[in-house]
Amino acid sequence: MTDQVDRTVVTQDSTVAADQETVPAAAVPAAAVPVAAVPVAAVPVAARQETVRTDSRHITRTGPGASEMTRRVIILLFGLIQIVIGARIVLLLLDARTGNALVSGILDISKIFVAPFNGILNKDYLTSGGSVLDVAAILAFVGWTLLELIVIWAVGIFRREPA
């Protein structure tokens, strides 16, 4: 959120009492020279009167900044990866039928994200009956989550916060 304030100050000519000595208007234009720059002897202090009008306008932008948008996109992308890997774990545990197009699609897509974690442990999966516990997928889920945290941390370094 950004606040921007525009201010316009309009100063009108100084007026002096009729019985006091005055400075000719051509000698000191009030808009061009600040009152403090006019010699004190030329215009008596008690006789100066000044009218100041201030116009203010507040502009507030209520959208996320660039670093916040980057952070949100990163969270979205890694969240989609985590959803696909989580669906793989659940589908293999429930012994889902791989002949189904949706199941085979999820397993094929998630294979891309699990492949870097295959072979880390001696066994990539454990079986019991028809169910499969894909240990490599669990490692992939943890690994992608850690990578997400590192990337979000790196983006946060360059984030500007108002002082």
Instruction: State pLDDT tens for residues 101-126.
Output: 999 999 999 999 999 999 999 998 89
Same domain, 33 and 99: no
Same domain, 41 and 112: no
Across 107-140, b (16+ Cβ under 10 Å) vs e yields: beebeebbeebbeeeeebeeeeeeebebbbbbbb
Distance CA 110, CA 103 (A): 11
Distance CA 38, CA 23 (A): 9
User: Does residue 141 belong to any structural domain of this protein?
Assistant: yes
Distance CA 117, CA 81 (A): 14
Top-ranked range on mean pLDDT: pick from 14-28, 51-65, 104-118: 104-118
- Mean pLDDT score of the chain: 79
Q: Name the H helices within 94-120.
A: 101-114
Which residues make Cβ contacts (< 8 Å) with residue 134, sequence separation at least 6?
88, 89, 92, 114, 124, 125
Instruction: State the number of CA atoms in the 13 A half-sphere of 17 facing the CB.
Output: 6
User: Does residue 152 belong to any structural domain of this protein?
Assistant: yes
Q: How confident is the model at residue 66 (pLDDT cuts 50, 70, 90)?
A: confident
User: Does residue 162 belong to any structural domain of this protein?
Assistant: no
Same domain, 51 and 122: no
Above 90 in pLDDT, residue 79? Answer: yes
Which domain covers residue 46, as residue numbers? 2-61
pLDDT score recorded for residue 63: 79
- 124-145 pLDDT, tens digit each: 889 998 899 999 999 999 999 9
Counting Cβ atoms within 10 Å, is residue 71 exposed (0-12), middle (13-18) or buried (19+)?
middle
Amino acid at 129: G
User: Does residue 163 belong to any structural domain of this protein?
Assistant: no
